Amino acid sequence: MIDIKNAAKSYIENLTATLERVAKYSEGISFQKIKLDFVDYQESHLKILDKSNGIYMIALSENCSIKPEKICSKVNSFKKNKRKYKFPKVNEKNCVGENRILYIGKSKGNMKKRIEAHLGLANPSTYALQLKFWGEDNYLKDAKLEIHYAFVEMPDEDIETDILEILETALHKNYKPMLGRSGH
């Protein structure tokens, strides 16, 4: 017989323990910021991201006047016309007003490689911002972007847990990025 009651109880206990660890980790996380020049990209710009277990937010700089509605419209157009490339989900309800947050992500592996995917330098089947196409667009090429990032130091037993994913989801729910999905 299937015992859903005990299965749910066990799952809730494990989830509660994980959430308590997430709360402890979140107290010690401090974000740094770098400029992301996707038009004149230099590999040396991302050397500091050559580590694992990171969370990041790609955002429009404060001095960028590009409107969220236009960004989302352009990305939807890219999705239709650049079929070989995988672009993130467009969160239409977040593409309004003064929202500056483009994308929130995590990387259990090397974060530099993940950001390179966003630049469009990786396999086209990897879901990413594909910023090389932004650089070819008359409107988006003037976007000023920055990466807010943090690395989470954790023991081996926590690396394969959902800790990074939960931290990413918390940021996603709080900041409501224009692009990407939460909880994957």
- Contact partners, residue 18, CB within 8 Å, separation at least 6: 161, 162, 163, 166
- Structure confidence at residue 92 (pLDDT): 96
* pLDDT range class, residue 161, cuts 50, 70, 90: confident
pTM, two decimals, is: 0.91
Judge whether residue 83 has pLDDT over 90.
Answer: no
pLDDT above 90: percentage of residues in the chain: 76
- Give the single-character DSSP code of 125: T
What phi and psi values does residue 63 have, to the nearest 5 degrees? Answer: -90, 15
DSSP 137-174: STTGGG--EEEEEEE----HHHHTSSHHHHHHHHHHHH
DSSP 32: E
